[in-house]
Amino acid sequence: MQPRDLSDHVAYEAGRGIEEVARELGRDPSDFVKLASNENPHGPSPAAAVAIRETASSVSSYPKAVHADLRSAVADRWEVTDEQVWLANGGDGAIDYLHRATVVPGDTVLVPDPGFAYYGMSSRFHHGGVREYGLEREDDFAQDAETVLEAYDGDRLVFLTSPHNPSGSTIPLADVETLADATDDETLIVVDEAYGEFADRDSAVALIEGRDGFEARDDVAVLRTFSKAYGLAGVRLGYAVVPDEWSDAYARVNTPFAASELACRAGLAAIDDDEHVERTVGTARESRAYMRENVDAHVWESEGNFVLVDVGDGSVVADEMQERGVIVRDCSSFGLPGCIRITCGTDEETERAVATLNDVLATLDLERDSTDGTDDSSAEVADT
């Protein structure tokens, strides 16, 4: 007995953790700072941490009541009905639910390249095909309706990421509306706003509900997560906001008790912890600005809690930075081998990352000059 043919499936490559790297290098974990996975440098919402501790003794019960309570709280936040909120085990769980509700064998989904690998992974799990539209580094990974429509061919789902991972670019809501108007009636536009709290953009929920001058639509869905701004990556909690017409589908596609008791209790506490979110967003904006101003390489403008940096050889630079105690993301798995992605950290973490990166880049430049057989003195003689 063997599993079905999985040769078209690619394993998701997560950022490496401090403990893993420390063991591999035989070092103390305290030597390292991890800025590879876009986690919250301030940790979880303090209110959520209290809720998790207080909930520990009740995890023997299924989370039916608290699951309903959290759906209601999220719905209140977005001014939608409870039934429009599809809670899930992380944002990737919500991606799975949307595939379950839409994709049948022979359907295709359209995803960004570079982009979040799980869009395509989930489609293949559900026997769908995957097609791509390119976001070009020469255009600073700009996102607009025209770029997507050039690649569109009747796909069942079209994924947009705003802010985009790994570049940090965003797409205007007017372009999302243009896409929804121009695509087939049976195409769902999915706007992944996992990093939405960090962006100076309105949510695409406005398109679902017909707010801010937009007409209400039944062909747009929005993904959100508690992992980033709320600092709850470890409890795995995300959700989709769907059109009202999709409400009944949730009960038919979700797993029983789609989010755990601990996750739901943490989410209920975190969603009202505005102070923690504001602090987190402020830190990210300061960190982004500091890296753009001080890194000795091209840093793309970003509206996420990370920046993308052009370093020439992402694998070499990431390895060298790791040796010096700063773990960042080599973007080869995104199809960007010349780049690294650095998560926005605290002031101290960001300053350390910038200093380490600049030192690595300078060292590599010196080594390259030495290999080329040139140095400053020989250049000076040649000039004279």
Q: Are 306 and 39 in contact (CB under 8 A)?
A: no
CA distance 132 to 114: 9
For position 215, what pLDDT does the model report? 92
| Cα-trace Rg, the chain | 22
For position 103, what pLDDT does the model report? 96
For position 197, what pLDDT does the model report? 98
For position 373, what pLDDT does the model report? 62
For position 23, what pLDDT does the model report? 86
For position 256, what pLDDT does the model report? 86
For position 88, what pLDDT does the model report? 96
Residue 42 — φ and ψ, nearest 5°? -95, 5
For position 378, what pLDDT does the model report? 42
For position 374, what pLDDT does the model report? 54
Residues 6+ apart with CB under 8 A from 379: none
> Where are the CATH 3.90.1150.10 domain residues in the chain?
18-43+274-366
For position 166, what pLDDT does the model report? 97
SS3 336: coil
CB-hemisphere CA count at 13 Å for 158?
Answer: 29
DSSP for 52-99, please give it. HHHHGGGTTS--HHHHHHHHHHHHHHHT--GGGEEEESHHHHHHHHHH
Residue 245 tokens, joined: 């017409």
> Where are the CATH 3.40.640.10 domain residues in the chain?
46-270
Residues 6+ apart with CB under 8 A from 265: 48, 51, 52, 54, 55, 66
Burial of 91-107, coded b for 16+ CB within 10 Å and e otherwise, reads bbbbbbbbbbbbbeeeb
- Rounded mean pLDDT for each run of 10 residues along the chain, 384 residues in total: 77 76 84 95 97 92 90 97 96 96 96 96 95 97 98 98 98 98 97 97 96 93 98 96 92 89 96 97 98 98 98 96 96 96 98 98 83 52 38
The CATH fold assigned to 46-270 is Aspartate Aminotransferase; domain 2 (3.40.640)
pTM: 0.92
Residues 6+ apart with CB under 8 A from 123: 99, 103, 108, 109, 111, 129, 130, 157
For position 379, what pLDDT does the model report? 40
The CATH code belonging to domain 18-43+274-366 is: 3.90.1150.10
Q: Are 73 and 85 in contact (CB under 8 A)?
A: no
Q: Are 284 and 198 in contact (CB under 8 A)?
A: yes
Q: What angle do CA 51, 57, 63 make, to 5 degrees?
A: 70
